């Protein structure tokens, strides 16, 4: 358990996401993120940008031990035949010997493999030294419980799920808290929707900061890791400023009250979400 706590504590609370960023956009975004001070970079096999991310990391000159890099294994690779090979391919693209965190991207294997099979592969990759920590993503309450029953307590570092003011995802967060699993909230801005919310804009005006800073500070105040993305240096710099913003109890309550179940990431293969 002590080892797992150490792993969790080393996940930088604020990271730079790369979802939907391709080729040169991904390279420039990661390069700028590292230049302005981000040290946590999040990518995935399905994003098709690991090579661009890897080039940006290499060209940045930032020491490897100062970085925290996450990638995720895609649905078609969740089996004994492809899992390890796919991770090695990811590392080749990233130009890294290991990642800091490797996740199961979705609990939705293309060929119906069991969770026991692909979690065993996830653990094997960790034992091989190809990742420092392992975790899950888009797992429901029931699936999180199942994953813990398979791997045991203290093995899963995080569950990366959609969390923003319009989707608190509280049931999953509570299930993770029960097992001391850190929650990473992706899509914190709900694809920009919450940045135009009147309540959030009023809080931003109160603190003389941007709406983005308010949203990120809200996530951080709830103990979440979060990974907003941007292709603009100014926005990346603004996102990083959220680390210095403290919201009061009234602010937090108002933002909590915006939850309306407005989920953005809901592909046709998604699990049956918790209400």
Average pLDDT rounded to a whole number, residues 249-272: 98
Query: Dihedral angle at the C-alpha atoms of 171, 17, 45, 144, nearest 10 degrees?
Result: -10
The per-residue pLDDT for range 13-55, each reduced to its tens digit, is 999 999 999 999 999 999 999 999 999 999 999 999 999 999 9
Whether the predicted pLDDT of 9 surpasses 60: no
Q: In the structure, what pLDDT confidence band is assigned to residue 10 with cuts at 50, 70 and 90?
A: confident
Whether the predicted pLDDT of 204 surpasses 50: yes
Residue of 47, 118, 166, 186 marked catalytic: 47
Instruction: Give pLDDT, residue 2.
Output: 33
User: What is the rounded distance in angstroms from the CA atom of residue 207 to the CA atom of residue 194?
Assistant: 17
- Gyration radius (Cα) of the chain, Å: 18
Average pLDDT rounded to a whole number, residues 98-116: 97
CB 100 within 8 A of CB 141: no
Mean pLDDT, rounded, of the chain: 96
User: What is the rounded distance in angstroms from the CA atom of residue 108 to the CA atom of residue 95?
Assistant: 28
Domains of the chain: 2-190+223-233 (3.20.20.100)
Q: What are phi and psi of 188, to 5 degrees?
A: -60, -25
Whether the predicted pLDDT of 265 surpasses 60: yes
Binding residues: 105
User: What is the rounded distance in angstroms from the CA atom of residue 139 to the CA atom of residue 273?
Assistant: 9
Q: Please, what sign has the CA dihedral across residues 104, 107, 110, 113? A: positive
Instruction: Give pLDDT, residue 221.
Output: 98
pTM of the predicted model, to two decimals?
Answer: 0.95
Nearest one of 93, 121, 78 to 18, comparing CA atoms: 93
User: What is the rounded distance in angstroms from the CA atom of residue 104 to the CA atom of residue 147?
Assistant: 11
Per cent of the chain over pLDDT 70 is 97
User: What is the rounded distance in angstroms from the CA atom of residue 216 to the CA atom of residue 223?
Assistant: 11
DSSP type of residue 110: T
User: What is the rounded distance in angstroms from the CA atom of residue 111 to the CA atom of residue 228?
Assistant: 31
Q: In the structure, what pLDDT confidence band is assigned to residue 275 with cuts at 50, 70 and 90?
A: confident
Binding residues for substrate: 105
Instruction: Give pLDDT, residue 130.
Output: 98
Distances (CA, A) of 70 to 13, 16, 42, 81, 183: 13, 10, 5, 22, 14
CB atoms within 10 A of CB 36: 16
Instruction: Give pLDDT, residue 51.
Output: 98
Task: Based on the residue annotation, tell me whether 47 is a catalytic residue of this protein.
Answer: yes
Whether the predicted pLDDT of 6 surpasses 80: no
180: left (phi over 0), alpha (psi -120 to 50) or beta: left
Let me know if 254 is exposed, middle or buried by CB neighbors in 10 A (0-12, 13-18, 19+): middle
Q: Residue count of the chain, please give it.
A: 275
């Amino acid at each position: 358990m002590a080892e797992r706590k150490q792993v969790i504590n080393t996940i930088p609370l604020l990271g730079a996401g790369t979802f939907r960023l391709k080729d040169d956009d991904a390279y420039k975004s990661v390069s700028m993120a590292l230049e302005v001070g981000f040290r946590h970079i999040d990518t995935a096999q399905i994003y098709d940008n690991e090579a661009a991310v890897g080039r940006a990391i290499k060209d940045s000159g930032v020491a490897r031990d100062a970085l925290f890099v996450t990638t995720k294994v895609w649905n078609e690779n969740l089996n004994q035949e492809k899992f390890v090979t796919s991770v090695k391919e990811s590392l080749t693209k990233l130009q890294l010997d290991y990642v800091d965190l490797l996740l199961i991207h979705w609990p939705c294997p293309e060929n119906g493999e069991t969770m026991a099979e692909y979690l065993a592969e996830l653990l094997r990759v960790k034992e091989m030294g190809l990742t420092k920590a392992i975790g899950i993503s888009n797992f429901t309450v029931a699936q999180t419980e199942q994953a813990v029953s398979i791997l045991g307590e203290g093995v899963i570092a995080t569950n990366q799920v959609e969390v923003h003011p319009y989707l608190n995802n509280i049931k999953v967060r509570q299930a993770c808290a029960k097992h001391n699993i850190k929650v990473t909230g992706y899509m914190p801005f709900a694809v920009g929707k919450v940045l135009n919310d009147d309540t959030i804009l009023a809080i931003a005006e109160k603190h003389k900061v941007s709406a983005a800073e308010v949203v990120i500070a809200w996530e951080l105040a709830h103990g979440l890791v979060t990974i907003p993305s941007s292709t603009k240096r100014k926005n990346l710099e603004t996102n990083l400023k959220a680390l210095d913003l403290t919201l009061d109890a009234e602010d937090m309550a108002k933002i909590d009250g915006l939850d309306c179940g407005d989920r953005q990431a809901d592909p046709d293969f998604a699990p049956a979400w918790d209400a």
